[in-house]
Structure 1
């Protein structure tokens, strides 16, 4: 299977966009990574998952901290999405954020957040599947979600 063909076909499936954040090591600032592989797994217990490349800094940080937050982005946060999508991701200085119950950063201007403790991890090819148990959550503001479709961020049409 060619990676390019797989990416092209999967790019036809629209997703939401989130930034996964967690504490860095003692002498480092927090770590964040943009994902569109986020989904709920179970309501009881409350479990969610995301996938991250096995060489990602975020993977090492989640392992070390044992926790992460899912920041669900709004349609006006494409810049934030891109900033945390690069291998050399953005820093947190100048970004409005507060620690969640686990200490993981939550962006104050995200649509919503889920604060999670690490539940389990599974190999998934060149990625790792990370499952977290939700220990806190919240709606932060109203607005449209940031979407991802064919390498772009189209706006959703809202039906009244």
Structure 2
């Protein structure tokens, strides 16, 4: 398997720190929500709740990887669960802090945590074999658009592989 070059280590570290920070911020919201709305008064009970949610988010991002060699259907469930968990955390943010502050809590917390964990685990180009994604829908659209754009400017002749295949 031919691998692409790694991204810069500083980038990987920055993304990992951002993912942890967003998850901790979401955990703070969940801690408060558990006390105010779920009647969890004990620290142990709240801790279990907050850790379970955070671990579920990270585990979902880990198992939703396209680099694991699984089918699109099996990747879809973990992706759905990650966004379902983030969605529930958004509800908690709004319930806990109202419209303006809740929006800040929601975006800085779970809405950013979900993709950041995906970036931590799988956006590093070295995780994907070279050309592994070239037959998916987005790269096909990109090639089609680029082919038509360059052909329209007479920079290249249109080729068969730049046309969309259904």
TM-score of Structure 1 vs Structure 2, range by shorter chain: under 0.3
Give me the TM-score of the superposition, normalised by structure 1. 0.21
Give me the TM-score of the superposition, normalised by structure 2. 0.21
Structure with the higher fraction of residues in helix conformation: 2
User: Which structure has the higher relative contact order (CA within 8 Å, separation 6+)?
Assistant: 2
